Amino acid sequence: MKGRLMGKLEAFPQVIGEYRFECTRCGNCCTGDQRVWLNPGDLKRMAVHLGYDHTEELFRRKLVVLEQGENGAWRPRILFKHYKKLRFCPFLENSLGEDGAVTGLCRLHPLHKPLICSLAPLGRRWDAETEKSEWIFVKPAPDCPGVNSKKVQLLRETLERHDREIEEENLFFAKLQHLLGNKSKQPAFRELYFFKTGLREESPG
């Protein structure tokens, strides 16, 4: 069963111990042909941040779309906007500095952004049999300047900062694998992604 959820990740180098990277906020990873895949935890954080009491609102407003991957699993991803020949994340905000330099800012940063974005440039190979992960180095974008940084990042520290979200995604991957094993259709996958956020119940009054 190994690799059914991994896609085309075999070619990327494994990260052991440390890696070098520093985000320059260029915004390149938020534009172009990027695919920002989401898990249920991502959907809830995004919906709560936007004031939605149900994750369905993300799909209704066309911020997120449900798409079938190469392995047959239906998964949500952010739906990029189009402007002429440009494609960009709907949560990208560009800021123009006094020096004329453009800075790419995320409206969801830091508490509500997708796990895949928070972990970048770390990606992972998930083994369905052992339910274990190998962490790999994946360029956030082909022209990402951050990969040339000399700043050392410790893998352990990065994972510890996101341990709760990673554990949530582990459970999500296991559920996906179960649905794939049962050859489930789209409605079964949708149940993972359409749910109340509890926002309205938690609001005073």
Q: In sequence order, what are the beta bridge partners of 95? A: 103
**Residue 89 and residue 78: Cα distance in Å, rounded?**
7
Provide the 8-state DSSP code for 40.
H
Q: 129 Cβ partners below 8 Å, 6+ apart?
A: 1, 2
**Residue 91 and residue 13: Cα distance in Å, rounded?**
29
**Residue 185 and residue 179: Cα distance in Å, rounded?**
8
Instruction: Walk along the chain (205 residues) and give the pLDDT tens digit of each residue.
Output: 344 444 556 689 999 999 999 999 999 999 999 999 999 999 999 999 999 999 999 999 999 999 998 789 999 999 999 988 899 999 999 886 777 677 889 999 999 999 999 999 999 999 988 989 999 999 999 999 999 999 999 999 999 999 999 999 999 999 999 999 999 999 999 999 999 999 876 555 4
Closest CA to 169 of 91, 35, 75: 75
* Contact assessment for residue 86 and residue 31, using Cβ atoms and an 8 Å cutoff: yes
DSSP letter string over 89-144? -TTEEEEE-TTS-EEEEETTTTTTS-HHHHHTTEEEEEETTTTEEEEEE--SSTT-
Q: In sequence order, what are the beta bridge partners of 64? A: 78
Q: In sequence order, what are the beta bridge partners of 93? A: 105
**Residue 123 and residue 49: Cα distance in Å, rounded?**
25
Chain length of the chain: 205
Provide the 8-state DSSP code for 37.
B
Q: Report the pLDDT value the prediction gives residue 204, as an integer from 0 to 100.
A: 52
- Cβ-based burial of 99 (10 A; exposed 0-12, middle 13-18, buried ≥19): exposed
**Residue 140 and residue 32: Cα distance in Å, rounded?**
11
Q: Report the pLDDT value the prediction gives residue 170, as an integer from 0 to 100.
A: 96
